[in-house]
């Protein structure tokens, strides 16, 4: 049986990816590792992705692999360089950054991409993940994460919708929601802007299924461009 390790830096990321896997790939066995100090320490330290942060990610990945995981999916979008280092040490298994599958799908759709994040450091770390020359606009959903932390899910979704509307006014033709925790706002955003809205959980599960050779239909998003 396929075993997927899910490594989280925000508690809010746990449910969206587990729900997506349960819905579209229930045969996969899931394990969850959460260190909710990662994002807080990154935001507080001002040191960026330093050697200490790299060591923490390697420790988490090594533990996940030791449990028999056949693939690792990180759900924390502001730690790209750390995840790339983990992947470089594990050419024998898929190690996915949270956004890479969504980036590939967004680029395949073409046009101007609107990227929304609720965690400000993501808007510094994620744009370089897009190919050079990508027509990309970014928008912070200010206050969305604080609302989610306070249990105000409606307030969170409203802030994401406002960010999407701002990007639509800039001529974006597809909206990409950077955080796993933002996936809950997909339907509201879609209704507000009438554009394709990609989420990291949906795209990541499609990529994992492809890379691990899973068979059978994907319940959601059939026909979208797969990750190459």
pLDDT at 39: 84
Phi, psi dihedral angles at 171 (to 5 degrees) = 85, 15
Q: Are 191 and 200 in contact (CB under 8 A)?
A: no
Instruction: Taking residues 133-145, report their average pLDDT.
Output: 95
Confidence band, pLDDT 50/70/90 cuts, at residue 51: very high
Tell me the per-residue pLDDT of 71-107, one tens digit each, with 9 for 90 and over: 999 998 778 889 999 999 999 999 999 899 999 999 9
- Please give the residue that has the higher pLDDT: either 181 or 176: 176
Percent of the chain with pLDDT over 70: 93
pLDDT at 215: 52
pLDDT at 86: 97
Q: Are 119 and 156 in contact (CB under 8 A)?
A: no
pLDDT for 223 beyond 60 = no
pLDDT at 124: 85
- Please give the residue that has the higher pLDDT: either 70 or 222: 70
State if pTM tops 0.85. no
Q: Are 100 and 117 in contact (CB under 8 A)?
A: no
Angle at 199 between CA 115 and CA 93, to 5 degrees: 110
pLDDT at 152: 97
Mean pLDDT over all residues of the chain?
A: 90
pLDDT at 225: 38
Instruction: Taking residues 107-128, report their average pLDDT.
Output: 91
Task: Compute the half-sphere exposure of residue 3: CA atoms within 13 Å on the CB side of its CA.
Answer: 9
Tell me the per-residue pLDDT of 191-222, one tens digit each, with 9 for 90 and over: 999 999 999 999 999 999 999 986 544 444 44
């Amino acid at each position: 049986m396929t075993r997927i390790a899910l490594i989280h830096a925000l508690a809010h990321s746990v449910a969206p990816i587990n729900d997506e896997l349960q819905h579209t790939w229930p045969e996969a066995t899931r394990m969850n590792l959460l260190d909710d100090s990662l994002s807080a320490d990154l935001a507080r330290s001002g040191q960026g992705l330093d050697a200490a942060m790299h060591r923490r990610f390697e420790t988490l990945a090594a533990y996940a692999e030791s449990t028999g995981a056949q693939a690792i999916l990180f759900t924390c979008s502001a730690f790209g360089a750390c995840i790339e280092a983990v992947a470089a040490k594990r050419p024998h298994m898929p190690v996915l950054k949270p956004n890479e599958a969504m980036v590939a799908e967004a680029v395949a759709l073409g046009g101007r991409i609107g990227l929304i994040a609720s965690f400000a450091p993501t808007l510094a770390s994620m744009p370089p993940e897009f190919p050079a020359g990508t027509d990309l606009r970014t928008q912070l959903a200010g206050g969305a994460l604080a609302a989610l932390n306070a249990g105000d899910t409606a307030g969170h979704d409203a802030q994401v919708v406002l960010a999407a509307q701002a990007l639509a006014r800039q001529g974006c033709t597809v909206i990409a929601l950077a955080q796993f925790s933002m996936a809950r706002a997909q339907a509201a955003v879609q209704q507000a802007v009438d554009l394709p809205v990609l989420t990291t959980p949906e795209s990541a599960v499609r990529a994992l299924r492809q890379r691990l050779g899973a068979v059978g239909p994907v319940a959601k998003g059939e026909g979208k461009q797969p990750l190459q």
